[in-house]
Structure 1
Amino acid sequence: MSGMTALLAQAAELRLLRPLDVQFAQLLADDDYPARLLLAACLSAEAGDGHVCLPLTQLSRDNLFNGRHAELAHAIWQAAGEPQDWHAEVSDWPALHSHDRAAPIVLSENRLYLHRLWHHEGQVARFFQSQATAQQFASEQVREVLDQLFGIAPDNWQKIAAAVALTQKTAVISGGPGTGKTTTVAKLLAALIRLSGDALRIQLAAPTGKAAARLTESLGKALQKLPVSEAERLRFPAEATTLHRLLGAQPETQRLRYHAGNPLHLDVLVVDEASMVDLGMMANLIAALPPQARVIFLGDRDQLASVEAGAVLGDICRCAEAGYSAARALQLSEITGCAVAGNDEHSAPPVRDSICLLRKSYRFDANSGIGQLASAVNAGDAKAVEAALQAGFSDIARKPLNDAEAYQAMLAEIAAGYQPFLKLISQRADPAEIIAAFGRYQLLCALREGPFGVQGLNQRIEQKLMQLQLIRRPTGGSRWYQGRPVMVTRNDSALGLFNGDIGITLFDDEGLLKVFFPLPDGSIKAVQPSRLPTHDTAWAMTVHKSQGSEFDHTALVMPAQFLPVLTRELIYTAITRARKQLTLYSDENVFRRAVQLRTQRRSGLLERLSGE
């Protein structure tokens, strides 16, 4: 190993690159072309970090590895020949895709892509461009139905959101916690059912089992309050499913039952928690839609982006910053009776007319610390964040983790948080009641490893609970015990379990340990531990894994030292998991720095939506 390959291997040893990135580079170039080796390794690393593309303007000596290990970065840059013109470096590269040669890397404008991600991004961009066309019911009918369901008010953005979705084939509705996304979609579906003479095939879906169960429950509650007839009520979908189940994911393969050649059988699709939908899943979903389908995407654009590549919801919602076109604003004003502003900025992408941003929270009032803190964090306003934390709100608490004593005190508080759940187990309560109790308190972590991460805290929480005799782990090294919560980390469609599903280990009627999982339809499935796909203990879970869930009391633990993974979006997502109570275990400076750091997912979707 010599030259650039050896330098990239050093970077991998320092965890600046993954071994996979170096191997990928070696497949596409060799030490005779050091700049290409560097480019391929960086592109692979970017994809691993969730970016869709590598803008060539971002690649410079000082930007390499985000300024870390500058000496090695400078040596690598020098070995690459201090490139000035990347287009010249790749012009005759066999690994570069062209109109007459399929290859793994694509250069589009000034952005370098893995072919798969370039293809997916193009699919998504073309879909949202083509869907930005009106699908009309008679305006008078729409106005009458919306007035029946929403009433008449000058600034009802839930009503405007429903009007957007009724007059477009595809709509995107984004709003924070408590802004009424579920209420809006319940009334929207009622309007569609009322306006459509034919029986509509409506499907509800979400990225995870937990999110699907929540959508089923919350939509069911919203439906009970609607002024709809029994006949209309029966036309509502009974339950939500996961996107994997919806598309018919095949066990142990990447194959899907539904795709462009075998589209889904539906007329209306509602996708909740759309911020969690990565670029690949979005491309698969839209490929499987039949031509007549209406789609409504619901989500919170300010939450963490998907685990896999892309920030699709965030990119699309950026198009809304231009406001509605003048013609669209007039149409929405006439249909809703609300004052909707518009402008004639002709360069704005047409998809802006398919988006509605809900801004008013009905859950958190002026006395809610959670609401004020979430709003301040989302704005990146350090003074407002500190004011919310210092104001003495009863629903938020910040506790520093500055020594071993504070850490032990935190473990004791976490054990107390889970005690009501464990008490129900000791009382042999019904599994459904036990599962519901587990969802009332949850510890979230920013990291996976270390004493402040999921793995370290799961071990320490187990030790604390054993010490307090709240759980009993068997001798002989088995990890299974009554009360153990587990999270599935790999899809198993044969079992009907998917990544993110949470189950509780309990004795069944025959005295055997089983893991009980709540399903989206409200039923419970008991699975033998030995049959489970890959899984983790879930006393603590990452903030990413908590998306799509809410808890009465949410606790967030952050590491003692600042790390780049600690971002505004991560903290906002954690805060907004809390319904009634939030506890922050964090150093003040670490928290403040995280609020200032925004997540940047590099992609070309916004430019492609704009026709660039």
Structure 2
Amino acid sequence: MVIEGVIENIIYQNAENGYTVCSVISKGEEIACVGNLLGVHPGEDVEIEGEYITHHVYGRQLKITSFSKSMPKSTYGIERYLGSGVIKGIGQKTAKKIVDHFKMDTLNIIEHNPIMLANISGISKNKAIAIGEKYKMQYELRSVMIALAEYGITTNAAIKIHDMYQQNTMQIIKSNPYKLASDMHGIGFKRADEIAVKVGIEREDINRIKAGILFVLNEFSTNGHTYAPRDALFNQAYELLGVDITLLENALIEINIDKQVIIKTYDGQVAVFLRKLYYSELNIADKLLTLSYHNKQEPIEFENEIKQTQRELDITLVKEQQDAIKNALVNGVTVITGGPGTGKTTTINALIHMIKKKKEEFLLTAPTGRAAKRMSEATNEEAKTIHRLLEITYNKDANVKQYFNRDKDNPLETDILIVDEMSMIDVYLMEALLEALVTGQRIVLIGDIDQLPSVGAGNVLHDIIESKRVKVVKLVQIFRQASKSAIIRNAHRINKGEYPVSNEEGTDFFFMNRVIQDEVKNTIVDLITTRLPKKYGNLDNLKDIQVLAPMRKGVLGITELNKVLQQALNPPNDLKNEYEYRQIIFRTNDKVMQIKNNYNIPWKVYGMAGMPIDDGIGIYNGDCGVITDITSEKLIVTFDDYKVVEYEFNQLEELELAYAVTIHKSQGSEYAVVIIPVHSGPPMLLSRNLLYTAVTRAKQMVIIVGINETVNRMIDNNKQVERYTNLARHLQNIM
């Protein structure tokens, strides 16, 4: 079926993929059309090929399979086109004036002789010239969008590319599309390489090889490394590019000359760093040592003060806890590390009590919203995320889109900064945090060295401890009350390489043997939907129960588990709206997680009367919430801290379903009940510290479902994936 007509209205358009709902006037009939209409505007003439379908809500629609468009061919179309807002400065009233005056010659006048627009009242000469320039830019943008669509680049991406390169867009695309990979977020090397093939760039082109090496280096960073051994870098680059080693060596030399990398040799091994990562670790080391050189004098009355603190708080502190507090009060840098049940929270509370008595200022912070909330609940003091503490600011017009207001020129106002969940902090965030401190201030770093390292690049807590350059206090004693919990006892058993004890009378740690993967999956669904709510009536199966899986893919990966759990816990019905994005169905009442930092997305908190009582910007990786509504244009999420966020559909790449999450993503969180599927998989995804991290997320109950032999193999596998980092070396080498 082919129709010809004029675009009447754009009802909805997805800027990411071009999906459009619009009405078209064809032979006097208004036809609803749905599908990809890349960059169309009201008033434009279109020829659309498609087939009629019947939507259960919206009725008869033409589902588009292909289309072509041209500029308006009638005065009505021209007026609709100009009045649609496509050219900034022309609204509906101005569009009518222009078309009434110039009739069918309107577009020709705007393109070739825009100064004539000044003959119309309300349009100055400057405005007339500006309209002409904007029209030409819009015409050029339309051509670019159509051209880039052939390379699989979305409408939204094409606009961003054109905004960056302007009239040079197509010249850059054809001569060096690899610039897109370095300049544009969301267009990686592989997409640039596909474009390069289409425009005829040779496989051995130097720009391709340089871009490929930088892509591999960024992949190392994504996997947590701050550098790549040159041999490993070349091996992966060869697999990616398929070019001779000599070409790789020459390209690396050029990248080094361009100052995009730093190359060092350590113990005979050549290490290749992205420049920013090298200096981030160096800056961290330099600042930590600078702070550590300026210690306060040890308090003369400390013994009496610590005894008084214990009486006032009605607690007993063991020697390690007292040492931790004394060092935190005195040293520029103190690390306090320990597993669950070893008294870290009690130590922090006693430290805060003594800081207050000394009338000193302190700040509490943690890397994620959930970790900060836990810290606040445990101390009864305000704790902020690091991003909020450093007052992150977003500037869409600047080259550096986000930055921290708190830095060396505007440092934090405190005597002591206490940082929790240190194992989660990567090098970039640690560098920014230390940048906001000055000599004489003290920092206390608290974390569990045996947890998984940060998702981002670096192994900060581990490297600081390994360097032996700052004071470290290890809390090892498990306290009596904590030792009553099988969760805590088994966490320590796992950490020591011993097998957990489960299914005892009155225990909070269970193992359910299931050999077949589908049986594991079905048991998890049964536990969440039926058995746990039935036995423990006060459990909310959305908020209190969390599935933590070692991997993403496979029958027991989070992708498949989320589909199954969504169907079981939040099945579709006529009262729930839903939206499908990249094969994920988002539905009202779904549990979701933010999976990347978005520093500029606005949020509001509403009071009982439905009026906003707080607002701000920024939602961060790991924040969880529930979809509370889906409209024709937006998806609305209410997060656990009551922040309400409206997502455009093209932002849904930042969300995923969260009935099941990876163990890595659970860091810094606590759940009443944790269910862990353990079946089979590669050794790198079945390790001791992965299981340890999952178990220590639970407050009331752990249930492992799967194969006991696999659980034992995880505990036996203490070979953590090596991270190539340089912080410990910097700390040891700086004098």
TM-score, normalised with respect to structure 2:
0.60
Q: What is the SS of the residue equivalent to 2:300?
A: helix
Q: CA deviation at 1:306?
A: 0.7
Distance 1:462 1:577 in 2: 22
Distance 2:574 2:691 in 1: 34
State the structure with bigger RCO (CA 8 A, min sep 6), 1 or 2: 1
Q: Greater share of strand residues, 1 or 2?
A: 2
Q: What is the SS of the residue equivalent to 2:501?
A: helix
Superposed CA offset, 1:436-466 (max 9, x none):
x854321112223333222221110111225
- The answer to whether the Cα contact below 8 Å between 1:203 and 1:266 also exists between their aligned partners in 2 is yes
- Give the structure 2 partner of residue 122 of structure 1: 282
Selected match of 2:722 from 596, 600, 603: 600
What is the correspondence of 1:4-403 to structure 2 with a 5 Å cutoff?
20=189, 42-56=216-230, 59=232, 79-80=244-245, 93-96=253-256, 102-107=259-264, 109=266, 110-150=270-310, 155-196=318-359, 200-220=360-380, 238-251=381-394, 253-319=401-467, 349-351=468-470, 354-362=471-479, 368-379=485-496, 381=497, 384-385=498-499, 388-389=501-502, 394-403=507-516
Distance 1:32 1:360 in 2: 58
The alpha-carbon distance between structure 1 residues 592 and 22, as it changes in their structure 2 partners (threshold 3 A), is farther
Distance 1:22 1:603 in 2: 29
Query: Which amino acid counterpart does residue 530 of structure 2 have in structure 1?
Result: A
Q: What is the SS of the residue equivalent to 2:730?
A: helix
Task: Give the paired residue count.
Answer: 502
Selected match of 2:690 from 570, 574, 578: 570
Distance 1:108 1:581 in 2: 49
Query: Which amino acid counterpart does residue 158 of structure 1 have in structure 2?
Result: Q
Max Rg structure? 2
- Give the structure 2 partner of residue 335 of structure 1: none
Q: CA deviation at 1:280?
A: 0.6
Query: Which amino acid counterpart does residue 722 of structure 2 have in structure 1?
Result: Q
- The answer to whether the Cα contact below 8 Å between 1:36 and 1:90 also exists between their aligned partners in 2 is no
The alpha-carbon distance between structure 1 residues 90 and 274, as it changes in their structure 2 partners (threshold 3 A), is farther
Q: What is the SS of the residue equivalent to 1:106?
A: strand
Q: CA deviation at 1:546?
A: 1.2
Q: Which runs of 5+ in 1 are unaligned?
A: 1-17, 67-71, 84-88, 221-237, 320-348, 425-432
Q: What is the SS of the residue equivalent to 2:392?
A: coil
- Give the structure 2 partner of residue 516 of structure 1: 638
Q: CA deviation at 1:37?
A: 8.8
Query: Which amino acid counterpart does residue 142 of structure 1 have in structure 2?
Result: F
* Farther off after superposition, 178-187 or 490-499: 490-499
**2:524 paired with 1:416:** no
The alpha-carbon distance between structure 1 residues 516 and 36, as it changes in their structure 2 partners (threshold 3 A), is closer
TM-score, normalised with respect to structure 1:
0.71
Q: CA deviation at 1:305?
A: 0.7
- Give the structure 1 partner of residue 623 of structure 2: 501
The alpha-carbon distance between structure 1 residues 445 and 554, as it changes in their structure 2 partners (threshold 3 A), is same
Query: Which amino acid counterpart does residue 503 of structure 1 have in structure 2?
Result: G
Q: Percent identity?
A: 26
- The answer to whether the Cα contact below 8 Å between 1:126 and 1:609 also exists between their aligned partners in 2 is yes
Distance 1:256 1:420 in 2: 48
Query: Which amino acid counterpart does residue 525 of structure 2 have in structure 1?
Result: L
Q: What is the SS of the residue equivalent to 1:561?
A: coil
Distance 1:74 1:288 in 2: 40
Superposed CA offset, 1:253-300 (max 9, x none):
232222223322333211111111100110111112233322111111
Q: What is the SS of the residue equivalent to 1:316?
A: helix
- The answer to whether the Cα contact below 8 Å between 1:418 and 1:441 also exists between their aligned partners in 2 is no
Query: Which amino acid counterpart does residue 469 of structure 2 have in structure 1?
Result: P
- Give the structure 1 partner of residue 3 of structure 2: none
The alpha-carbon distance between structure 1 residues 149 and 472, as it changes in their structure 2 partners (threshold 3 A), is farther
Q: Which runs of 5+ in 2 are unaligned?
A: 1-186, 604-616
Distance 2:303 2:639 in 1: 43
Query: Which amino acid counterpart does residue 568 of structure 1 have in structure 2?
Result: R
Distance 1:154 1:394 in 2: 28
Superposed CA offset, 1:338-382 (max 9, x none):
xxxxxxxxxxx432xx21111123377555432333223223x2x
* Farther off after superposition, 103-112 or 577-586: 103-112
